[in-house]
Structure 1
């Protein structure tokens, strides 16, 4: 472990020193406070923490809170607030409530960090320009044009040089980026300013390291003190825990123990508060650097803290060479990076961008605590809206009936929309109302029930079918309602092959149990078939029985569907059709023998005659597929089927398809694929050899359709007659 953790700790140390100094500047705290926090976060959390590779230290996201506390209470009192916040974190960790922090919307956290980044960038930009920041982000924005107009040449040059190195460092080859970008930028700015004799502000660490004083109890109303302690404890704790979860995704080692991590963060904040340091939190930038540098254990985190302590005690004098404008430029760069566009992309797919934007705007325009509270409120309202979202769709059918589908969770919040949509149904209409809901409160029930009674009094009819659960029926009967939403049912997976469902199948029960037990040598086909029938009886039969009962005496299909007998082709699956839709003919190769074919075939001819004469079919579809074994046998000249004489005689009906394929030329998609497509077109031509089919096609009363199912991509294509092309549905 040591051979990996030692070099990783040195890399993190080089990153942590300039960041800690910069965050101390942004917080309005002594420079030494940043280094003290880095040492406490590294050593204490590294020794006690629950995350393997997370690095803790002063966090830019807390700088606004600390700056406000310093202005209100003073630095020594702020240290006492940090100490008490650490004690609170310790208690929360011991009571094992850390995972509750994960209930905070990431949109709020990322929006808060982005808002903090904007505020830091705006305030420190004034320092880069040689001025001083205002008390608010709005004030900084208003004063910015005047600062830019003034001439602050040396300060501006130092800041611009620092930012240029930070931006350009990432574009250098990997072998040249051994030194971290922040350290390289500060070194370049310090050397350049010193060499050219620029008039810049220098910083001195020596007095702050030697002038330790004990924390002081804040002098203020106890309500304000408690609020400050809660704010520091919760913000630092949530940021640490979310960072630990994010860091777990970067490595394959042991997952973080969040309660242990929160306890360690509390101890570290007690230590840093007692020693005069900034609040400590887990930070993603240094943690990511630690992982990429090859760290394997918490030793890397602990050793990086020791290196910072050695640096502060032995090389603290070198910090006075760093221009204050360079640290400010580093903070501007960090602030801009905190507005992470990648988070917006992730949140956009879940509809949480408004929460992010509102939180960020609240932090920038009003304040950190206020912005977070506004973001939490909006996130809660958004979640409530999603939980109570309903869909209402009312449309007339061709027979004059109206079909109304209501889905979602029916609460009082959805009643206005529900009643508005139901009013669109004309009086006296016959209505089929489908309720696919998982909850219904009394207000929603009253709205539907009242509408139903009014509609039926007006001469209409309402037939209610509850698809998910009988919420309406129970409420109408006066039965006691469920206290919570109905858990969603497991998705129906009837379309999976038997082999994929065999492991999850329950033990056989009911009347379809085999008469004799199966043995190891038996084929699984029979038990699979019986289990499938049981599953049909249990799940599907109750749903389709009303429709099958209505069509039990007569079928009225819309298509004659001719397709291959291949087991991978499921006509109702690839056409999303149900019982009574397709009059299906299946044979090897989806062939339609010509009327004058030899040997003659009455099977397909009988189906065509019955479909035209008895069923009054108006569409005939021929559906082929990729990798058809019958077409492969045609290409091979029947070499592999000489022991299957009946199959050989049947495949003679495919000779016209083979001739069409040979005449068409080309090899787009391979010879077999092209023959499979050509075969479909040829069968459409073969259908025209039947006089009744040809007559109806000429009269425009019958349509012939060619389909091609690509098994590998699960795509259905419509085939058009020459030139042979395919258009996806």
Structure 2
């Protein structure tokens, strides 16, 4: 997506008004933020102060105009300060400028190669850990300046020398630093309307005024910038391996920081999103220019970008104009910098360094188990070096990712029936073989085992271990019933078929809608096949009528239609079909609950957890209690969709009907007034026993008095059926027509309730009738009833 806001329509009056109204004020805010930060980062980098201002100008004008983000602001970045300081110490300032230029060339080539998005593969834990380490290092070094001393050669040395600095006598330098930090802390806590001027500018101005008024003995810096002071960069002297590594380090660090900044800033505004390849290309050109002019490396910076968005920027003009303001300040007002104490700049860097340690990132990383990566990276940057710390973090992140990808869970336990249940989940690779074999060996010999494979990958080593154990266990007289939730990794490997190495997404257990009887028959057949095949009794597998092909070792039977061999399996035939060989030994509800816990619960648990405290159904679904009507099946609905009422004949008693029945009325009232459903659906079905009883009048008052009283609420349906005789009998006979008429009548009965009628007339509630043809497995939408039934349908 193009984000070029400098050319497309920029000359139109509406664009000009937007720039003047939004971008111009935002550019002034960013300019005021950029000046002190650029100077402070130059100090931390060991570079000339002018280098920070040059980088701010180039970052604003060049990167802003050529980059792929509408609101990102580029300039000198605190995250690169340690790298630049080390390069200046090793190669000198002019050679560091050449390294910056070459890093820009590398970024330009990477951007043109369209590989920018690959940089986002770096773990955020590594990025945040690197920034934290840089922040701690900068804060420790500049704290010595605030205390009137000088930074040591390493963060560890700074930490060791800090107690002596704190205990020594200090001069006015300490007062200047403490005043700067105090203003920074207090200013950020003032109401927003009082914080129109950025805190760094206020802090530096306040300290400069106090130092001048009180005649403090502080260090002042005279910054003179003119075109005559420019010196060209030259090629660094030294080992070319180190030079190439330095170029790549600057290119990658500034590039990754810029890309992550672009992604983060995109979340703060509703304008066009960033073109990451163009962002990287713009950064490359900017680093070429800043290196040639003697500036610091340029990267996208979060603080200035966030300030830009908060100030109301809408296009790149804000970023470009902020660079122009910095340029004007550099040549017209640079003399004002001489009044700023160096200790104040050092205090500003301490404050910035502390802010880079964002504990909010730690909380976010904690839930994903990536805190060790963050801590190792930060510690590595502080005590070893920036590049080394980043590499340590990347290596640890890769190891943890490998561990997660190959993690396997094995749960083994005995059940009350004497069977053993084994659940294996995760990715089954050679790394998990030791644990797998240890857990499987804990299963006693000769016992029946239900083995559930909830895996998304299995390599050959894991298959060999599992298959060897299975054969050994069945050799002791036991049975192993294997059920695979995902693709059949074990079955395919046992058949010698090709197993694709790619992982497969989780799938819902195959044919979960089958009745218990069908699944029971399938399990019996599968258990019999496993027992007969792996005991090597020389018998043939019978998976269906006429199927006499020998089963290969390890073959499992897939879910399908019920076995049609016509030979019931006796209890003593080693069938693996639940808690025991005979399903009659336990209630089928318990077996169904076991299957739910094994297969379905892990899939629906996240959804149910979110809706555990509150239900928000969209439909009240009134249907028959017939066991063949499954509302969630015929509507493809899930948990939380339907508020369901079931009764004999899907009847809705009319308002103030006799005999009275409040159960349906209570559900209607609760659904419409409390839950706020927008639809009430009445679902009838073919072959309804209640409608058959109405037609024949065969309900015995002595044997079924409650049913007879309840079916009196269906008399209106019978009357409507009689009044419309001859209309549609050909569709399915008298019974099916009465079943359809009954649905229409119950919708009319609903409208006799004042609350329902009021909502319907206000178009806040819709009544729908559907008819489920069981034999054809088809759902039909029925027509709407008249608001008031005709007189000849009113039954006393």
With the length of structure 1 as denominator, give the TM-score of the two structures.
Answer: 0.71
| Structure 1 residue corresponding to 2:193, chosen from 148, 171, 175 | 175
Contact 2:653–2:661 (8 Å) recurs in 1: no
Cα distance between partner residues in 1 of 2:171 and 2:51: 30
Tell me, yes or no, if structure 1 residue 412 matches structure 2 residue 426. no
Cα distance between partner residues in 2 of 1:543 and 1:291: 61
Cα distance between partner residues in 2 of 1:555 and 1:306: 82
Contact 1:189–1:326 (8 Å) recurs in 2: yes
Tell me which residue corresponds to 2:396.
378
Tell me which residue corresponds to 2:22.
4
Cα distance between partner residues in 1 of 2:222 and 2:254: 28
Contact 1:53–1:295 (8 Å) recurs in 2: yes
Going from structure 1 to structure 2, the CA distance change for 1:206 and 1:394 (only over 3 Å counts) comes to same
| Structure 1 residue corresponding to 2:587, chosen from 551, 556, 562 | 556
Tell me, yes or no, if structure 1 residue 234 matches structure 2 residue 244. no
Aligned-pair CA distance for 1:457: 2.4
Aligned-pair CA distance for 1:628: 8.5
CA distances 1:570-627 after superposition (whole Å, capped 9, x unpaired):
xxx99x9xxxxxxxxxxx999xxxxxxxxxxxx99xx9xxxxxxxxxxxxxxxxx999
Aligned-pair CA distance for 1:272: 0.2
Aligned-pair CA distance for 1:426: 1.3
Going from structure 1 to structure 2, the CA distance change for 1:315 and 1:494 (only over 3 Å counts) comes to farther
Give 1:470-619 correspondences, 5 Å limit. Answer: 470-489=488-507, 542=560, 556=587
Going from structure 1 to structure 2, the CA distance change for 1:203 and 1:457 (only over 3 Å counts) comes to same
Contact 2:653–2:664 (8 Å) recurs in 1: no
Aligned-pair CA distance for 1:153: 2.9
Aligned-pair CA distance for 1:629: 12
Tell me, yes or no, if structure 1 residue 65 matches structure 2 residue 99. no
Going from structure 1 to structure 2, the CA distance change for 1:651 and 1:446 (only over 3 Å counts) comes to same
Cα distance between partner residues in 2 of 1:310 and 1:187: 19
Aligned-pair CA distance for 1:200: 0.4
| Structure 2 residue corresponding to 1:265, chosen from 275, 283, 290 | 283
| Structure 1 residue corresponding to 2:237, chosen from 219, 234, 242 | 219
Tell me, yes or no, if structure 1 residue 651 matches structure 2 residue 682. no
Cα distance between partner residues in 2 of 1:14 and 1:350: 38
Contact 2:286–2:298 (8 Å) recurs in 1: yes
Aligned-pair CA distance for 1:443: 1.1
Tell me, yes or no, if structure 1 residue 43 matches structure 2 residue 43. no
Contact 1:31–1:208 (8 Å) recurs in 2: no
Specify the SS of the correspondent of 2:378.
helix
Contact 1:32–1:209 (8 Å) recurs in 2: no
Tell me which residue corresponds to 1:438.
456
CA distances 1:85-122 after superposition (whole Å, capped 9, x unpaired):
00000000011110000111111001000000000000
Aligned-pair CA distance for 1:488: 3.5
CA distances 1:362-405 after superposition (whole Å, capped 9, x unpaired):
10111000000000001111111111121111111111111101
Cα distance between partner residues in 2 of 1:76 and 1:13: 27
Cα distance between partner residues in 2 of 1:324 and 1:103: 39
Tell me which residue corresponds to 1:617.
none
Specify the SS of the correspondent of 1:255.
coil
Going from structure 1 to structure 2, the CA distance change for 1:557 and 1:156 (only over 3 Å counts) comes to same
Contact 1:430–1:461 (8 Å) recurs in 2: yes
Specify the SS of the correspondent of 1:409.
strand
Going from structure 1 to structure 2, the CA distance change for 1:492 and 1:77 (only over 3 Å counts) comes to farther
Cα distance between partner residues in 2 of 1:53 and 1:653: 61
Aligned-pair CA distance for 1:431: 1.1
Aligned-pair CA distance for 1:458: 2.7
Quote the RMSD (CA, aligned, Å): 3.5
| Structure 1 residue corresponding to 2:45, chosen from 4, 18, 27 | 27
Aligned-pair CA distance for 1:258: 0.4
Contact 2:428–2:455 (8 Å) recurs in 1: yes
Specify the SS of the correspondent of 2:659.
helix
Contact 2:50–2:225 (8 Å) recurs in 1: no
Contact 2:411–2:422 (8 Å) recurs in 1: yes
Contact 2:82–2:386 (8 Å) recurs in 1: yes
Tell me which residue corresponds to 1:705.
none
Contact 2:225–2:330 (8 Å) recurs in 1: no
Contact 1:627–1:672 (8 Å) recurs in 2: no
Aligned-pair CA distance for 1:235: 0.4
Tell me which residue corresponds to 2:655.
641
Going from structure 1 to structure 2, the CA distance change for 1:350 and 1:672 (only over 3 Å counts) comes to closer
Contact 1:32–1:208 (8 Å) recurs in 2: no
Cα distance between partner residues in 2 of 1:544 and 1:81: 73
Cα distance between partner residues in 2 of 1:653 and 1:21: 76
Cα distance between partner residues in 1 of 2:342 and 2:509: 61
Tell me, yes or no, if structure 1 residue 389 matches structure 2 residue 403. no
Contact 1:391–1:406 (8 Å) recurs in 2: yes
CA distances 1:458-511 after superposition (whole Å, capped 9, x unpaired):
33222222221111122122222213222443799999xxxxxxxxxxxxxxxx
Cα distance between partner residues in 2 of 1:43 and 1:653: 73
Going from structure 1 to structure 2, the CA distance change for 1:444 and 1:627 (only over 3 Å counts) comes to closer
CA distances 1:657-714 after superposition (whole Å, capped 9, x unpaired):
9xxxxxxxxxxxx9999xxxxxxxxxxxxxxxxxxxxxxxxxxxxxxxxxxxxxxxxx
Cα distance between partner residues in 2 of 1:418 and 1:403: 14
Cα distance between partner residues in 2 of 1:199 and 1:391: 67
> Which of structures 1 and 2 has the larger relative contact order (alpha carbons within 8 angstroms, sep 6+)?
1
Cα distance between partner residues in 2 of 1:470 and 1:626: 37
Cα distance between partner residues in 1 of 2:589 and 2:506: 35
Going from structure 1 to structure 2, the CA distance change for 1:397 and 1:4 (only over 3 Å counts) comes to same
Contact 2:67–2:279 (8 Å) recurs in 1: yes
Cα distance between partner residues in 2 of 1:106 and 1:464: 40
With the length of structure 2 as denominator, give the TM-score of the two structures.
Answer: 0.65
Going from structure 1 to structure 2, the CA distance change for 1:589 and 1:8 (only over 3 Å counts) comes to closer
